[in-house]
Structure 1
Amino acid sequence: MRVARLQLHGFRCINEMSVDLHPGFNFLVGANGAGKTSVLEAVFLLSHGRSFRSGAREALLRRESTELGVFSTINHDDGRIARLGLGRAGTRWESRLDGQSVSLGQLIRECAVVCFEPGSHDLIAGAAEGRRQFLDWGVFHVEQDFLPAWRRYQRALKQRNSLLRSSAPLDEELFSPWELELARSGAAIDQWRKAYLDALLPFLREQSERLLPELGEVELRYRQGWPEGEDLASVLGSQRTRDQGRGHTGSGVHRADWTLSFSHAPRREHLSRGQEKLVALACVLAQAWLDASRRGEWPIVCLDDLASELDERHQAAVVDGLAATKAQLLITGTELPQPLRRLGAHVFHVEQGQLTPLL
């Protein structure tokens, strides 16, 4: 899939912008603060329903603007064309697909974007929530029933937490229905996550060998969020008193996590900060390869500030690996990296939120 046209209105530092992108390599060059990352962020938003930057979606609204709009024409490999839009007027957000109002889930299913940016380092060194988001995005795009199950789980979790924080007694009749729902929907989510990580591992090994051969073979470890071999409903029942004291549910798929280890670096603490960035990049690229194998078309690949994050050898490894694919790439930087000069990337100059084609 490819972004053929991107239109932005009232987004971050961008007042109005419309740009036609090339199906291959697109490089956005400009000074810091010019709006390069905001372009990638807008494309990512259509695929994830959130920014890769910290903060709420309300922070995306341009200062002094009352409306925000992100619109894109997506060309699929099978010839299908989809028109996507996500906008905000006042406090109300609206998702549109081919001119029709749709749920956010329907919108983001239509567009797949993976992104490596300076904050991607947190995928390895940060909190478990970011790793769950990475994992669940991948599952969402291959399992049609994931989103309904996830919503049922979240509703049951909210209800149980509300009971824990109330003055209600720890009554079996009050808690049991929500704990059974957490167990049912959680079991499905857990199995999908495990299957996805199993499918991701071969692609992760390929990318790790390309980027970090000195670390040896990589392994993935998954922790489901409650003791292995035990029924979640039973675990939740036995933990009501403890959870009431804490005011939240301490076991379940919302507490899951996954980690990596290498034969020559079995603990995360053995990795340098630079290696952590490369491991995060390997995860992002592995997810792109897996998504392409499952969907039959490549996701859009965004690489923010590539030259600042990677040395030239690793830049070349990434660029050369993706050049052989049908992926569309959006890459940013303050100057054109040497590996992209060889490929003849299409260059856009970004200044004060405006894109101007150069090459």
Structure 2
Amino acid sequence: MRLEQLRIRGMRCLTDVSMALDPAINVFVGANGAGKTSVLEAVFLLSHARSFRSGASEALQQRGAPQLSIFAELRHADDRIFRLGLGRAGARWDAKLDGDNVTMGQLVSDCAVVCFEPGSHALIAGAADERRRYLDWGVFHVEHDFLGSWRRYQRALKQRNSLLRSVTASTDELFAPWEAELAQTAHLIDHLRRSYLDLLRPKLEASIAGLLPELGAVELRYRRGWAEDRDLAQQLRDTRGRDLARGHTTLGAHRADWSIVFERAPLREHLSRGQEKLTALACLLAQAELYAECRGEWPVVCLDDLASELDQAHQAAVVAQLCAAKAQVLLTGTEVPQALQTLPSRVFHVEQGQLTRLL
């Protein structure tokens, strides 16, 4: 898939910018703080309904702007064209597809974007939340049953947590219906996650071997969030007293996690920051390749500040892989990276929230 047109209004320092994008490589250059990353952030929002930056979502909307809006024309590999719209005025997000109001789930199902940026090492070194988001985004795009199960699970979890904070005694009459729903949907989610990881594993092994061969063989480990040898409903009953004291549910699919273990770096702490970044990049590229295998087209690939995140050899390797896959790439930097200087690309200069095409 590729974005052909992109317009951003009222987002961070971008008051009103429009661009026609190249189907292959697009480079956004400029000084720090010029607004380059915000362009990639807008594209990421269309695919994830959240930013890859940390901080409150209210900061996305430009101060004084009446609203934030992102519009894109997206062409799929079969030449279908969709017009995507995402807007926000105050706290509410509105999504549009070909001019019609749609749910956020409908919008993001039609647009797939993966992004490697300075905070991506958190996928390896950060909290489990980041790894679950990575995993569930992939499952969502290849398993049609996932979204419905995930929504049912979140509803039951919210209800059980509400009970834990509002009652003083553990009674089956109150808790059992929600625990049964939690258990049923958690097992469905766990099955879909495991199936997805089985598909991802060989691609991840190959991707990591290409970027970090010095670390030896790699193993992907998954923990589902409750004991493997017992039913979740029974475990929830057994832990009600503890959960009442804590005010939240401590077992379930929302506690799942996965990790990567290297033969020559068995603990996460054995990895340098650079190795964490390369491992995270390998995960993103493997996920993009699996998406392409399942859906027949590569997602849009965003690379924020590539030159400062990777050395020249790794930059060249990544760019060569993406070019061979014919993926659309959006890349930022203070200047055009050396790995791209001999390749045809569309270059935009960004300065104080204004965008000018150079090449």
Q: Which interval holds the TM-score relative to the shorter structure?
A: over 0.9
Aligned to 2:5: 5
Aligned to 2:159: 159
CA distance in 2, matches of 1:91, 1:229: 43
Aligned to 1:137: 137
How does the TM-score come out when normalised to structure 2?
A: 0.99
* Unaligned stretches of 5+ residues in structure 1: none
What amino acid sits opposite 2:191 in the alignment?
Q
CA distance in 2, matches of 1:49, 1:136: 13
Q: Is residue 2:228 matched to residue 1:243?
A: no
SS in 1 for 2:188: helix
What amino acid sits opposite 1:124 in the alignment?
I
What amino acid sits opposite 1:120 in the alignment?
S
What amino acid sits opposite 2:87 in the alignment?
G
Aligned to 2:261: 261
Amino-acid identity (%) = 65
Aligned to 2:23: 23
CA distance in 1, matches of 2:352, 2:182: 48
Q: Is residue 2:101 matched to residue 1:101?
A: yes
Q: Please list the CA deviations of residues 211-243 of structure 1 after superposition, one character each: whole Å capped at 9, or x if unmatched.
A: 111011211000000111210000001110111
Aligned to 2:220: 220
Q: How does 1:321-336 map to 2 (within 5 A)?
A: 321-336=321-336
Aligned to 1:230: 230
CA distance in 2, matches of 1:204, 1:169: 47
SS in 2 for 1:342: coil
Q: CA deviation at 1:148?
A: 1.2
CA distance in 2, matches of 1:80, 1:167: 53
CA distance in 2, matches of 1:92, 1:254: 25
Q: CA deviation at 1:150?
A: 0.7
Q: CA deviation at 1:56?
A: 3.0
What amino acid sits opposite 2:80 in the alignment?
R
Q: Please list the CA deviations of residues 240-272 of structure 1 after superposition, one character each: whole Å capped at 9, or x if unmatched.
A: 011101111000010000000111111111111
CA distance in 2, matches of 1:139, 1:74: 22
Aligned to 1:174: 174
SS in 2 for 1:74: strand
CA distance in 2, matches of 1:141, 1:160: 28
Q: CA deviation at 1:90?
A: 3.3
* Unaligned stretches of 5+ residues in structure 2: none
Q: Which moved more, 1:54-63 or 1:112-121?
A: 54-63
CA distance in 2, matches of 1:351, 1:206: 39
Q: CA deviation at 1:4?
A: 0.2
Whether the 8 Å CA contact 2:211–2:282 is kept in 1: the answer is yes
CA distance in 1, matches of 2:149, 2:59: 29
What amino acid sits opposite 1:70 in the alignment?
I
Q: Is residue 2:304 matched to residue 1:304?
A: yes
Whether the 8 Å CA contact 2:316–2:339 is kept in 1: the answer is yes
Q: CA deviation at 1:344?
A: 2.3
Q: Please list the CA deviations of residues 40-67 of structure 1 after superposition, one character each: whole Å capped at 9, or x if unmatched.
A: 0000000000000012322210011121
Number of aligned positions between the proteins: 359
Whether the 8 Å CA contact 2:232–2:252 is kept in 1: the answer is yes
CA distance in 1, matches of 2:116, 2:92: 29
Whether the 8 Å CA contact 2:168–2:244 is kept in 1: the answer is no
- RMSD value over aligned CA atoms? 0.9
Q: Is residue 2:80 matched to residue 1:66?
A: no
CA distance in 2, matches of 1:40, 1:259: 27
Q: CA deviation at 1:168?
A: 4.5
Q: Is residue 2:274 matched to residue 1:274?
A: yes
CA distance in 2, matches of 1:222, 1:345: 40
Q: CA deviation at 1:166?
A: 1.1
Aligned to 1:344: 344
Q: Is residue 2:286 matched to residue 1:286?
A: yes
CA distance in 1, matches of 2:135, 2:181: 22
CA distance in 2, matches of 1:91, 1:148: 25
Q: Is residue 2:86 matched to residue 1:86?
A: yes
How does the TM-score come out when normalised to structure 1?
A: 0.99
